[in-house]
Amino acid sequence: MPEEIAPIPENRDPAPLTQEEPSVEIHKPKPVHNWRELLTEIGVVVIGVCIALGAEQTVVALHDHARAAEARANIRAEIARNLAIMDQREDTEACQTKRMAEVDGLIAASAAGKLPQDALWLGQPLTGAMLDSRYKAALQSGAASLFDDAEQAAYASLYANFEIRAQQMQEELRAWADLRTLEDHPSASATLDWQLRSAMKQARLARWSIDSVHAVAVRYAAQVGIQPATHLKVTLPAICVPLHTSRTEAVKQVTNTSARYSEMMLAG
């Protein structure tokens, strides 16, 4: 008999290959067998927390130190600038002393009805605004609270003096505004004489207060190692213009001086 041929098996999809999924290693907590192991575990946690807190405090301390240093530098520069403004006025003291003596003579001449009828220019003492924006910024931001008590007290005392000076400067300017009535050659009267003498008294009092505040501020600043900044000298302040100068010419001279001073400030 012919040999039988075995039937060919039907095509079947090969069995899918299965990949072994990676095993995940899970660390099961070890049971604590005694107090020693428990305390060790607690100690590790506590030490870790302390390290984290210590690092955070270090970062905060470094940040506060930088804030305090920046605020301190700004405040000290502002104080030095204010002292320079005070020193600038000192440069005109001789002119102010001379002008006040001249005004005394004019008041006496006015009371006697003999006020000179030629041009008169009284001017006014040199002014200068006290700066405080940097100090106020440090107070509002809380940076000033990072200084120690002694440093805070020193700065507070200095700025209190600057405020007193600013108030006295306003009083002085009002007094000189009244004295400049003489430039208009008013008719003599008892009332005018009283007003002029009262204004001169107020001008002298304000001048004394301003000079006293200056002396105190310099002393307080020296105690914390602050010296006045370099200041530019005003060549011809209003109070140094000669007494018998017309208003037009005096204003021209003072304006030119102010313009030159501004240019020097910008160049510096």
Instruction: Give the residue-averaged pLDDT of 94-104.
Output: 96
CA distances 127 to 144, 149, 162, 167, 218, Å, are 29, 33, 13, 12, 18
In angstroms, the CA 165 to CA 172 distance is: 10
Q: What is the DSSP letter of 239?
A: G
Q: What is the DSSP letter of 225?
A: T
* 33 found inside a domain: no
**12 in any annotated domain:** no
- Render pLDDT for 52-88 as a digit per residue (tens, 0 to 9): 777 666 655 656 678 999 999 999 999 999 999 999 8
- Is the Cβ–Cβ distance between 75 and 225 less than 8 Å? no
Q: State how far the Cα of 229 lies from the Cα of 210, in Å rounded to an integer.
A: 19
pLDDT value for 50: 74
Please check whether residue 156 lies inside any domain of the structure. Answer: yes
pLDDT of 267: 44
Residue 56 has what pLDDT?
65
* pLDDT at residue 22 greater than cutoff 70: no
Apex CA 188: angle with CA 182 and CA 194, to 5°?
75
- Alpha-carbon distance 222 to 89, whole Å? 19
- CB 231, CB 84: distance < 8 Å: yes
The predicted-structure confidence for 152-204, as pLDDT tens digits, reads as follows 999 999 999 999 999 999 999 999 999 999 999 999 999 999 999 999 999 99
- By CB atoms closer than 10 A (0-12, 13-18, 19+), residue 199 is buried
The alpha carbon dihedral of 135, 133, 226, 93 has a sign of negative
Would you say residue 164 lies in a domain? yes
Residues spanned by the domain of 133? 46-79+92-229
Residues near 150 by Cβ (< 8 Å), separated by ≥ 6? none
| Mean of pLDDT values over 218-242 | 88
What does the pLDDT read at residue 127?
Answer: 85
CB–CB of 214/165 below 8 Å? Answer: yes
22: Cβ contacts below 8 Å, ≥ 6 apart: none
Tokens at residue 15, please?
């069995």
Residue 209 domain-assigned? Answer: yes
- Give the pLDDT confidence score for residue 10 in this predicted structure: 53
Domain membership of residue 168 (yes or no) is yes
- 151 is a domain residue: yes
Number of domains the chain is built from: 1
Percentage of the chain beyond pLDDT 90 is: 61
Residue 161, token pair as written in the block: 């003096």
pLDDT in tens, 4-13: 555 555 555 5
- 26 occurs within a structural domain: no
